[in-house]
Amino acid sequence: MKKYRYILTMIAILGSTRMINSAVQAQATRTWVSGVGDDANPCSRTAPCKTYAGAISKTAKDGEISTLDPGGFGAVTITKSITINGGGAGQGYGSILASLVNGVIINITDVNDVRKTVRLDWLNINGASTGINGIRFLAGNTLFVENTIIDGFTTNGIDVNTAGTSFLHVKNTTIRNCAGSGISSIAAGANQVAFAFTGISIHKCGTGFNAQNGSRGSIRDSLFALNSTGIALSQGGSNTEVNIDSSELTGSSTAIAVNTTTRARIARCTISQNANAFGLSGGFIDTGGNNTIMGNTTNQAPNGTVFPQN
């Protein structure tokens, strides 16, 4: 009798193992979506899925979802390292309509996912004036956003609110019409949100970039226009420092606001046609002395260190 039970147990274990292996093998390194696809498909190039959410369960960790043609591919929650490519190179944008919801949520907590990295490329994320956040980064190591348009959200275009240290890279991206901030970043406690922004445009948001506790990084070749505040810095248990190079801030109540003990460093920037060039509430603005600060209602002077030009 004991031998019989042992045989049954082994059969059950072998069956479960085969099911797990089959599920793993079913995940492809690259999957595909199409406007005329079906989520019942295997998400191959010849039998693509309909939505990013449908494709993600069939895509292996560190894999890529590619977009065959322009279409609306739905909001998605990401819990593993992955690339979503909306199909630039003449194919058009992969569109995510996020009415009343978040467009993309990133929440990677799997200890076996070493990279914990998400790459979003060539997406058009539309909140239709009712969506919550365009992209919400809750857990993970790194988020890359490139060649993307984010428009019409009631809170933030990109919201980074991670418990641990994380990195945000944004390149060639436009964010507009967000009631909260174009980009909002905050780290918990003494942690850090490191960031690098290149070639971004943020228009008509409450705050263009809200750099909160632990936000430290650089902005280059970017435009902040017609926001209530262009760039705002604040901190608690971790320093907030923002380097701004070769960028323009215009059409805001305050171009750059530095709150208690925060520090912004500006070089080769144009700050013009704002009500106030700077809001100096206990923070510091260092300068290379090579900025254009003129045509504002009040042209405050930088109050920090003058560093040498190179």
Q: State which amino acid sits at residue 133.
A: N
CA–CA gap between residue 24 and residue 163 (Å, rounded)? 30
User: Residues 96-139: pLDDT tens digits?
Assistant: 999 999 999 999 999 999 999 999 999 999 999 999 999 999 99
Give residue 26's pLDDT: 67
The pLDDT score that the predictor gives to residue 310 is 65
Q: What is the 3-class SS of the chain, one letter each residue? A: CHHHHHHHHHHHHHHHHHHHHHHHHHCEEEEEECCCCCCCCCCCCCCCECCHHHHHCCEEEEEEEEECCCEECCCEEECCCEEEECCCCCCCCEEEECCCCCCEEEECCCCCCCCCEEEEECEEEEEEEEECCCEEEEECCEEEEECCEEEEECCCCEEEEECCCEEEEEEEEEEEEECCEEEEEEECCCCCEEEEEEEEEEECCCEEEEECCCEEEEEECCEEECCCEEEEECCCCCCCEEEEECCEEECCCEEEEEECCCEEEEECCEEECCCEEEEEEECEEEECCCCEECCCCECCCCCCCECCCC
Predicted confidence at residue 308, as pLDDT, reads 86
Q: How many CB atoms lie within 10 A of CB 13?
A: 10
Report how far residue 18's alpha carbon sits from residue 206's, in angstroms, rounded to the nearest whole number.
53
> From the CB of residue 250, how many other CB atoms can be counted at a distance below 10 Å?
18
- For residue 19, give the amino acid letter: M
Predicted confidence at residue 185, as pLDDT, reads: 98
Q: Which residue has the tokens 């936000």?
A: 215
* Nearest alpha carbon to residue 264 among 216, 225, 226: 216
Domains of the chain are 2-293 (2.160.20.10)
Q: What is the amino acid identity at position 8?
A: L
Whole-number pLDDT of residue 284? 98
- Report if pTM > 0.85: yes
Q: What is the pLDDT along the chain (310 residues), one digit of tens a residue?
A: 445 554 445 445 445 444 434 444 469 999 999 999 999 999 999 999 999 999 999 999 999 999 999 889 999 999 999 999 998 755 668 999 999 999 999 999 999 999 999 999 999 999 999 999 999 999 999 999 999 999 999 999 999 999 999 999 999 999 999 999 999 999 999 999 999 999 999 999 999 999 999 999 999 999 999 999 999 999 999 999 999 999 999 999 999 999 999 999 999 999 999 999 999 999 999 999 999 999 999 999 999 999 987 6
Predicted confidence at residue 21, as pLDDT, reads 40
Is beta strand 215-220 parallel, antiparallel or unpaired with respect to 59-67?
A: unpaired
Of 247, 241, 201, residue with least CA distance to 225:
201
